[in-house]
Structure 1
Amino acid sequence: MRLMGKAGTKGVSRVDRERQIIDVAVEEFGRHGYARVSVAAVAARAGISKPLIYSYFDSKDGLYVACVHHVGALLADSVAAARSRSGSTAHAVDTLTAIFTTVEHCRYAWAVLYDPALPPAGEMRDAVNLYRERLSAMGAAGAAQLLAGAGDDDPLDHDLLNHVWQHAVTAVMRWWFEHPDQSTAEMTARCARLLTALGTG
């Protein structure tokens, strides 16, 4: 995601300015977590003033919610578009590829939706849950189709596979954070090899 320098802070449209602020904030929140990020830190990285951020987003919480809607919509839309092979074992690789491609310029975007330090209730939690539930529902549908194709209609098997999938994706993303040298193409190939070795790809 593009970072804004101190130059060129004037003559920028509101839409472009908001996007620039969100780009910076997504990386800050994703890298450090909601609790450890200040509006001052985001403003400093964006090369703008704190009051300008408050004028656009009202509060730190408002900025976080804007980041959640930005990355959540991108991720949900990309995963939905990767369902052309839904019900096949290749669907898992397609889904991971879609996620990698969506966040390749800011790998911390995934962490914005899965920050354990968020308050348990409120607007931020509601926004996060909206996209988590969308992603979980698509994962559950893919798992159900895969098991149905294998003649498995046990609801607990379906539930377990969905849980394994959700946690596996988060584990893969965390591993990628720790290995920044790995490109999207390399991650796709790596996951495809592992899924093939496990007999699910």
Structure 2
Amino acid sequence: MPSSTASAGSARRSGTKGVARADREEQIVEVAGQVFAERGFALASVSEIAERAGISKPLIYNYFGSKEGLLVACLRRGGQVLAEEMERTAALGEVGIARALVTLDGVFRVLEPQPWIWRLLNDPTLARTSEVAAIIDVYQDRVAALARDGVGELMHLAGDDDPVDIDAMTHVWSNVFDSLVTWWVDHPDETPASMTARSSRLFAAVFGADRVGLRGR
């Protein structure tokens, strides 16, 4: 007969109906992120999240403490997913426009099954409580550091190392990047591959095909 200690350990490791707690939490975060992105945090209800996840409301409160706690978990996961993907593509060694394209391609691909991440992280209606603000600030700081690094490389290739020029261009690039991803999220018929190709064409129109590497295409 199993000991009470072993039974308690199994309970900690598992959620309802034999599903491991970590897996159940991941499922809840995925559903909650979708609902928050669709409804906005203020209008989203824990009841709807529970119903769509096929679980009870008390289980959500047991895992996350509150609706706000669930939002924090969604933001933390989303920020980590995006920042890690951008750091991965930055480590590939591409420079200039090629780095911009590979970064966008990675973001399109990682967001394809979970576009709610982008919508939630960029939701202007979110109440910036101290915990929410801290999570978003950490994500934005990681992304901003990558943008400064990539733009600095691009400007150096163009023969411009002026720090003020680099700062200004970093703001320009960040807005272009955000606009392209937002446009893509709003056009779900576009695949990541088609959106990367579209971005290449747009960059070619601005910088010239030779700079983007589209000669002969």
Q: If the length of structure 2 is used for normalisation, what is the TM-score?
A: 0.83
What percentage of aligned pairs have identical amino acids? 42
Give per-residue Cα distances to partners, 1:60-82, cap 9 Å, x unaligned.
11111111121211111111111
Q: In the alignment, which residue of structure 2 is the partner of 1:18? A: 25
Determine the structure 2 residue equivalent to 1:175. Answer: 183
Count how many residue pairs are aligned between Structure 1 and Structure 2: 193
Gaps of 5+ in 2: 1-15, 213-217
Q: Aligned letter for 2:142? A: R
Q: SS in structure 2 opposite 1:151? A: coil
Amino acid at match of 1:72: G
User: How far has the Cα of 1:88 moved from its partner?
Assistant: 2.3
| Structure 1 gap ranges (5+) | 1-8
1:29/1:169 Cα in 2 relative to 1: closer, same or farther (>3 Å)?
Answer: farther
Divergent runs of 4+, >3 A: none
What residue number does 1:30 align with?
37
Q: Does the aligned pair in 2 maintain the 1:147–1:158 contact within 8 Å?
A: yes
How much has 1:146 moved relative to structure 2?
Answer: 0.9
Query: Greater relative contact order (Cα 8 A, min sep 6): structure 1 or 2?
Result: 1
Q: C-alpha distance in 2, partners of 1:28/1:22? A: 10
Paired AA for residue 94 in structure 1: V
The whole-number CA distance in structure 2 between the counterparts of 1:132 and 1:123 is: 14
Identify the residue that residue 95 of structure 1 maps to in structure 2.
Answer: 103
User: What RMSD in Å do the two structures reach over aligned CA positions?
Assistant: 1.6
1:27-176 pair list within 5 angstroms: 27-83=34-90, 84-176=92-184
Superposed CA deviations along residues 12-54 of structure 1, whole A, max 9, x for unmatched, are 1101100100111121222333223222221121121111101
Moved more, 172-181 or 101-110: 172-181
Which of the two has higher C-alpha Rg? 2
- Residue 178 (structure 1) shift: 2.1
Q: How far is the alpha carbon of 1:174 from its aligned partner? A: 2.0
2:27–2:53 Cα contact (<8 Å) kept: yes
What CA deviation, in whole Å up to 9, does each residue of 1:62-115 have, x standing for no partner?
111111121211111111111223432201101101111111102121122211
Query: TM-score normalised to the size of structure 1?
Result: 0.89
